[in-house]
Amino acid sequence: MQRRNFIRAGAAGVLAGCTPKGELSHITGGFAGVDAERGHGLRATLQAGKGWPQPAKTISTQVLIAGGGVAGLAAARALRLRGVDDYALLELEDEAGGNARGAMLGGIACPLGAHYLPVPGDDAPEVQDLLEEFGLRRRVAGRWQIDERHLCHSPQERLFFNGDWQEGLLPVQDVGQETLVQYRRFAVLMEQARKAARWTIPIRIEPSAPVQRALTAITFRAYLDQHGLTDAHLRWYLDYCCRDDYGAGLATVSAWAGMHYFASRHGFHAPGGESAEREGLLTWPEGNAWLTRRLAAPLGDRLRGGRIVLRIASTRSGVEVDALNTATHSVERWQAQRAIVALPLHVATRVVENPPDFLVDAAQRVVHAPWLVANLHLTQPLHDRPGAAPSWDNVLYGDDRIAPGLGYVDAMHQSLQALPGATVLTYYRALGDAPGGSQAARQVLLHKPWAAWRDEIVAELSAAHPELGSKVNQLDITRYGHAMAIPVPRSNGQIGLWPPWNERETLSKKEQRPGRRTLAWQRLSFAHSDWAGYSVFEEAFTAGHTAGS
């Protein structure tokens, strides 16, 4: 304990300012990746009740997709596979991809958000088909194989714990016997939960098992309290897993979400127990932008970037959509037979004219986590501490004061370069648990100066890499005010934000079948990961694919 307290005190000293601001003045950079003014301009216009100019031109198409994130791109692909060529996709940013876009920094590709995709199982056949189309998955001698060039290279992950690097993210170095006992107890509970219900990614829209409904109604922390799982190391790890997947920790997310993290994937395996094969992860230097750029490529001029959707209305003959072209500052009116609304819920409910009750209700219930993603360009490799070798995913142990971030991934880890050199470290911080709630966190994210973020991030990572500040020459920050839906507890035990079965009379018979991934209302289909209540690639892609099918 004395050694651990010493390490923590040292880390706290770094965060308190052991790296003078003057020493970081050589680091250039700024805010990049997302144009916050575009979205905020739409909100201000709607709140003020102001109109916008009359449409400068009218464009007709068969199907219109509003939103170019993973769901919108998946919908466009599904239309293409059906042979539908007459469609258009409107996207707020200049590049499609949502929070799965990428960038170049110092000539090195790096992610601006989502950076990996677990190898999908049979519950995600649509994603499996996508990997096959992209050449990532193929059948060899009757068995499916993943192209190993795109799998995360070893070593995959490590944790800076007690002053050294250890392999894996579960704290094990020099932990006590009671910690190991609690690890094993949680592993048993996890296995029992997996046998008691079906856990899938993506989740199925159908009545869930009683055990899952009970877990949805309480926080993950309450579940751990009920089972006497109080060990600080176990709770740190589970809190990290929740923040990494959902943008908020175990005191905020539901117990269902905390269990789903493990039950739908690889389970939880305690040290000394039955070992499991490491989960396969697909990753690229630019993160999931590798996928979204390939999804966008076939669209050509059917992808219209820099379009702020102002209004979506059902008419007698179809759908009418008004969008502001940010390049010409003029309004375009799009007319289509139908539209796919692949927008976050808080945006969809603002732009859909006379929105249905189920959309308004879902938008009121969704809680979004703000995120910050920082890319640090290093001119030289870092000198490492003893322990585990440099890995793709590198995490620092500590509380919100010492290590508020989620660590960093190394963009050059997949390069197989013979000698380490310049690289980009992509640092992540989820703000779903920030003091004052998500709205307060969004204000901090929007108004806090870039230099203040720079100083905090460099100081935090310097606890493991004291020379970091001297080797960073550029640091770019991407801010997401509504990055992902947080799966918070719901008293009715409902998983996701879809309307209950007894409130879906407005939906077509096709859409009322169990397992369907989208909602249809009049001539609109809704597809976004927000409807699942949490955000992962598989949820967004499956929803978009079904909406376009």
Extract the runs of DSSP E, i.e. beta strands, from 266-378: 281-282, 303-304, 307-314, 319-325, 330-336, 338-341, 368-378
Give yes or no for residue 3 having a pLDDT over 50.
no
Give yes or no for residue 171 having a pLDDT over 80.
yes
Give yes or no for residue 5 having a pLDDT over 50.
no
**Contact criterion met (CB below 8 Å) for 351 and 64:** no
pLDDT in tens, 184-194: 999 999 999 99
128 lies in a domain?
no
Angstrom distance (rounded) from CA 349 to CA 27: 41
Bridge partners (DSSP) of residue 66 are: 90, 341
Question: Phi and psi of 493, rounded to 5°?
Answer: 75, 15
- Residue 195 sits in a domain whose CATH number is 1.10.405
Angstrom distance (rounded) from CA 504 to CA 492: 17
Give yes or no for residue 282 having a pLDDT over 80.
yes
Looking at residues 197-215, what average pLDDT do you find?
A: 87
pTM over 0.75: yes
Question: Which of 44-53, 235-244, 286-295, 438-447 shows the lowest per-residue confidence on average (mean pLDDT)?
Answer: 44-53
Domain co-membership, 258 together with 334: no
pLDDT in tens, 456-515: 999 999 999 999 999 999 999 999 999 999 999 999 888 899 886 444 444 444 444 444
Q: Which pLDDT does position 17 carry in this prediction?
A: 41
Sorting pLDDT into bands at 50, 70 and 90, what band is 441?
very high
Sorting pLDDT into bands at 50, 70 and 90, what band is 223?
very high
**Contact criterion met (CB below 8 Å) for 393 and 407:** yes
Q: Which pLDDT does position 275 carry in this prediction?
A: 61
**Contact criterion met (CB below 8 Å) for 39 and 93:** no
362 lies in a domain?
yes
Domain co-membership, 177 together with 260: yes
Domain co-membership, 362 together with 507: yes
Q: Which pLDDT does position 10 carry in this prediction?
A: 39
- Residue 332 sits in a domain whose CATH number is 3.50.50.60
507 lies in a domain?
yes
517 lies in a domain?
yes
How many domains does the structure of the chain reveal? Answer: 2
Domain co-membership, 243 together with 327: no
Long-range pairs for 1-6: beta carbons < 8 A, 24 or more residues apart:
3/162, 3/163, 4/162
327 lies in a domain?
yes
Sorting pLDDT into bands at 50, 70 and 90, what band is 47?
low
CB atoms within 10 A of CB 213: 17
405 lies in a domain?
no
Domain co-membership, 321 together with 248: no
Question: Which of 80-94, 144-158, 260-274, 514-528 shows the lowest per-residue confidence on average (mean pLDDT)?
Answer: 514-528
Structure tokens at 385: 């501490």
Domain co-membership, 237 together with 186: yes
Q: Which pLDDT does position 40 carry in this prediction?
A: 63
380 lies in a domain?
no
Domain co-membership, 260 together with 313: no
Domain co-membership, 262 together with 314: no
Please give the full DSSP string across 13-77, using - where no structure is assigned: HIIIIIS-GGGGTT-EEEE-S--HHHHHHHHHHHHHT---PPPSEEEE-SEEEE--SHHHHHHHH
**Percentage of the chain lying above the pLDDT 90 cut:** 78
Domain co-membership, 201 together with 264: yes
Domain membership of residue 243 as a residue range: 171-270
Looking at residues 118-141, what average pLDDT do you find?
A: 95
Looking at residues 400-422, what average pLDDT do you find?
A: 91
Number of H helices, E strands in the chain: 16, 24
List the alpha helices (DSSP H) in 287-402. 289-296, 345-351, 357-365
Q: Which pLDDT does position 520 carry in this prediction?
A: 86
Structure tokens at 478: 């991407």
Domain co-membership, 256 together with 331: no
Looking at residues 46-58, what average pLDDT do you find?
A: 77
421 lies in a domain?
no
Q: Which pLDDT does position 44 carry in this prediction?
A: 61
Q: Which pLDDT does position 142 carry in this prediction?
A: 82
pLDDT in tens, 64-78: 999 999 999 999 999
Of 251, 270, 289, the position where a domain reaches its end is 270
Domain co-membership, 179 together with 240: yes
Domain co-membership, 242 together with 324: no
